[in-house]
Amino acid sequence: MAADTLTSSEYIKHHLTNLTFGQHPDGSWGIAHNAAEAKAMGFWAIHLDTMFWSIVLGGLFIYFFKKVADAVTAGVPGPLQNFAEWIVEFVDTSVRGSFTAKNDLVAPLALTIFVWIFLMNLMDLVPVDLIPFITGWLGIHFMKVVPSTDPNATFGMAFGVFGLMLYYGIKVKGIGGFTGELTLQPFSSKNPVVQGLFIPINFLLEFVSLIAKPVSLALRLFGNMYAGEMIFILIAIMYSSGVALGLFGGFLQLGWAIFHILIITLQAFIFMTLTIVYMDMAHSEH
């Protein structure tokens, strides 16, 4: 997809539209050919590009670590084993520093979240026109290659973590303990009548705090990665505005790509760290 064949607005809209499959208003099922058709498909539409790249990158993560595990040696480790051990040690240190309970699921969960989100974010460094140009020749109208710029993906991961929080919160504390945390704090009184008046207030405050956890997880990752992708797209538009602006855009893109490596890693680390903290809170009794 070349920027000079579209207006700037059309170019931006094209690169921010997902390849969407769903039900058309006439009842037939198929792929949307424009943003209006995708919007008309409603809630049950599927973003095929988000699903595809998420699964591919998840498979890449599994393949890499399985390959290292199959070839692991107690002697002098190879470069791949060194790299894998460094990642595992980094995640393990984070878990030991933030998770105080005992749960063998938390460390593998943190490792999966960190590497998977990092790989999804890393796709933002692929030139914005490269894959859409290739898929265009195959007749595919849209192709967003950064799953973490799709709120469906970030909310999906956040709700997965949220489900584990609720499960372990109830499992560790019981229904009574979990309900008590939502209704008996932060305001309390020894007078049962006053305490009864505090219960709906406490529930409102604690419920909002509880729901804010997955929402903040999802929106933080989505917002940062979406903004980063938008900047790459805006820089790409400069290539169609003459040689001088094209060269300037090249320097801008290089600088932003180098800086974006920090954002990519930081967002994966923040999502992982908050997941560990939230899981620790689910295991802690107040």
Catalytic residue among 224, 240, 241, 284: 224
Mark whether 191 is an active-site residue: no
Catalytic residue among 103, 220, 240, 241: 220
Q: In whole angstroms, what is the distance from residue 138 CA to residue 142 CA?
A: 11
- What token pair was written down for 264? 């990519």
Q: Are 258 and 265 in contact (CB under 8 A)?
A: no
Q: In what order do the strands lie in the sheet with 46-47?
A: 29-31, 20-23, 46-47
Three-state secondary-structure class, residue 30: strand
DSSP string, 70-123: HT--SSS--HHHHHHHHHHHHHHHHHHHH--S--TTHHHHHHHHHHHHHHHHHG
Q: Between vectors from CA 211 to CA 102 and to CA 40, what angle results, nearest 5°? A: 125
48 with 19: CB under 8 angstroms? yes
Query: With contact defined as beta carbons under 8 Å apart, do 283 and 101 qualify?
Result: yes
216 catalytic, yes or no?
Answer: yes
181 in Cβ contact with 281 (< 8 Å) = no
Q: Which of 189, 191, 209, 216 is catalytic?
A: 216
The DSSP bridge partners found for residue 29 are 23
Tokens of 54: 């998420």
Burial class (CB in 10 A: 0-12, 13-18, 19+), 146: buried
β-pairing verdict for 46-47 and 29-31: unpaired
Catalytic residue status for 28: no
Token reading at 159: 């709700």
Instruction: Please tell me the distance from the alpha carbon of residue 11 to that of residue 39, in angstroms, as a whole number.
Output: 18
Catalytic residues: 216, 220, 224
